[in-house]
Structures are given as structure tokens and as C-alpha cells.
Structure 1
Amino acid sequence: MPLSEHEQRVLEQMEHAIQAEDPKFATAMRGRTPRARHRRRILLGSVGVVVGLVLVVLGVARSVVPLAVAGFVLMLAAGALAATPPRKTATGPLGAVGPDGATRPRPKRSRAQRSGTFMQRLEQRWDRRRDGGSWG
């Protein structure tokens, strides 16, 4: 349920009062931005790769195979952490918002609503392209 204009003004006044009274608390409650979280993931992944590399070198130099394998696994996991983007999480229900503010689920298309099988759709695209039609 959306807030009324009066409730939004009261909420903004409360936010300003908290910011003026205790800026450190307000900053902590605001949370981190997605950009800062992404930078932290890259930093943690980079540190993990370096630590894993050190473990691999130590394991090989001292002939301790489990240490070298653990270092390699750590390097692999840390590299994956740094390279993959964070998952996008939905903040609420997905779908269309009605005039009353309620969320209706998105209608699902059944296989019957699609125009044929996968191969038939590819053939239709190919025919349109060959005949000079659209590429989509």
C-alpha cells in the first residue's frame, strides 16, 4: 500500500531529524550502495586469489599437495566471486500494478500461445529473412 502525501512528508521529516541528530547512525542505517558492494566483491576476490596463489606456491615448494590443491580451489572460488556480478534480487512481488495499487502476477504464456515449435519458429524467421523481411 503506497504512503499518502502526509505520511511521506512525516517520513522525510523523521529522516532529516535523524540525519541532523546522529549522522553516523543515519549513514549506517542507509546501507551500502550496489556500487560499493560490487567493489567489495572485487576486493575480496582479488585478496582471495592472491592468498590462494601464495598457498599454491608454498604447497609446491614444500611438496604438500593438499595445501597446493586447497590454494588452487581458493583461487578458483575467489576469481569466480570477483568475476561474477551480484544477483539482482526482487524487492517485491513481480507483475503489473493495478489502479488500486495491488500487484497482479504477470500472465504466463503457455506453449499453445506460442506460434509453433522451436524449429518451426526458426524456419519462419529464416523464410522472413530470405524474403527480405525483418530480422527479428
Structure 2
Amino acid sequence: MALSEHEEALLQQMEEALYAEDPRFASRIEKTKSRALGRGRIVVGVAAGIIGLALIIFAAMSSSIWLGAVGFAAMVAGIVWAITPAKQALGSVAEDGAVTPHKGGRSGPSSAKQGSFMDRLEERWDKRRHDQW
């Protein structure tokens, strides 16, 4: 059953509030969700690998080189599919709790207004030292 627009908006607000309140917990939840999605990928890859192996065995019994090659390709493709992680849309949580998804490419922010990597590290370091005093 699909959610109504009001329910979707409420769910979105709750999600944003979770990110604002506890970004570490929210990122842990995202990792757990991505692991569950990866299990299906492993099952499909292993199944393709087993089918490929069965084709190789059948090709060895029937002396069919082409069937053996197809089986080997299916087995390798299934194993590669199972061990490679799925590409996911990554995002970052700002200090105000807003989530900004990255549009592919690099995983870090690339705009010039945010400063260089070292500038941001120095800013974080100064903020930590200031918070301790």
C-alpha cells in the first residue's frame, strides 16, 4: 500500500530530524540498509556461479567446447557480480541537518566556496579545541 503525500512528507521530515539530531546513528542505519540490499546481489551471483559450473560439467561430459566457454563466462560473471558492491547514491549531512545527495562522480564536495580539504580540517580542529576549553 502506497503512502499518501502527507505521510510521505511526514516521513521525510522525520528522516531529516533524525539526520539533524544524530548523524552517526542515521549513517549507521543507512549502512545496515545497504547490507541488506547486498545480500540479494550475493544470492544472484552465487546462483549464476553455480549454474555456470553446472554448464562446465555438462560441457565436459558432452565434449562441447562452446557450452563450456559459456558456462565459464557465466560462472566468472556471477562471482564478480557477487563480490562487487552495488553503487549507491551517497550524500552528506550538513551541520544544520540537511542532507545533500551527491550526483555521482566524486564522493566529496567539489564546490570552491567550501574551501580546500586542509582548510576544512583546520577549521574542524580549531572548533574542537575551542569546544574543549
Higher relative contact order by CA 8 Å / sep ≥ 6: 1 or 2?
A: 2
TM-score, L = length of structure 1 = 0.46
Structure with the bigger percentage of helix? 2
Of structures 1 and 2, the larger Rg is shown by 1
